[in-house]
A = this chain, B = another copy of it.
Amino acid sequence: MRTYLDCYPCFLRQALDAARLAGADESQQKVVLDRVFDVLKQIGSSSTPPEIGDRVHRIVRQEVGDSDPYQAAKETSTRQALVLYPRVKALLAEADDPLDVAVRLSIAGNIIDLGPDQEYDLWGTVERVLAQPFAVDNRGAFRETLSRAGQVLYLADNAGETVFDLALIGTLDVPVVYAVKGGPILNDATREDALAAGVDQVAEIVSTGSDAPGTILGRCSEEFRHLYDDAELVIAKGQANYETLSEEGPKVFFLLQTKCPVIARDMGVPVGSIVLKQGRCR
């Protein structure tokens, strides 16, 4: 997905939030914003929002220095999600269609976003998403692709959401490779966050080799790109993965809730929708 001009105010908001969370004083915050202005003046409209976001967060790290301001928030998110995991398993155990319920649970977990600044009712979200109609519903194509796949590449999103991914991974009935960020960025899951959620008990955890938001293939390790190229089915969680991979072809399936109005409009659905969308080609 290309960057829209409507994303620009949001980049400033993100830069301020990240700088403050990293402990920046006001003059550091101003320096960060001034550098973000330069980035926004330079970028072409073909850059994806996470590519800009990556540059914004690099500026924050360079100017303020804290390499992982979201660490505490990530640990809290994972703990809160783990508390609910027995209820998640109980839902799956009594499901008539476990794959459908597991897909919805994984999408419900996507409500977790940017930790400290967002408020959400996690179990309330689970109950809503279990009953909510899909605004984009490519579940048929997803089931068909899954039935032919010998392995699934699963692109993680946020810490805490990882716990809800467990439910889906356990239901897929094929080996799963779970790809996490190569280093801390926002509240995205790293290997440590995936381990804290217990993902290693159901999948092989790999790193994308990149600490940019979403999955910017040109920034990932060669090893990960091979994995990606060889994959028959890619499950891509969350908005940033949609923003970076929306035109990478029909083997990619995006599972997410639309929380950003620009992404929702790009998809042609309202904010607050649940989506299982098959990727398109360029």
Q: What is the interface of chain A, defined by CB distance below 8 A to chain B?
A: 5-6, 8-10, 12-13, 16, 26, 29-30, 33-34, 37-38, 40-41, 45
Contacts and interface: CB of A to CB of B under 8 A. Distances in A.
Contacts of A9: 9-10, 12-13, 16
Of A9, A13, A33, chain B has the most CB atoms within 10 Å of the CB of A9
A8 B16 CA distance: 10
Query: Dominant SS at the A interface?
Result: helix
Copy number in this complex?
A: 2
Contacts of A38: 37
A34 to B, nearest CB: 5
Contacts of A10: 9
Contact of A26 (B5, B13, B16, B34): B5
Nearest to A35: B41
A30 B45 CA distance: 10
A261 to B, nearest CB: 12
Contacts of A13: 9
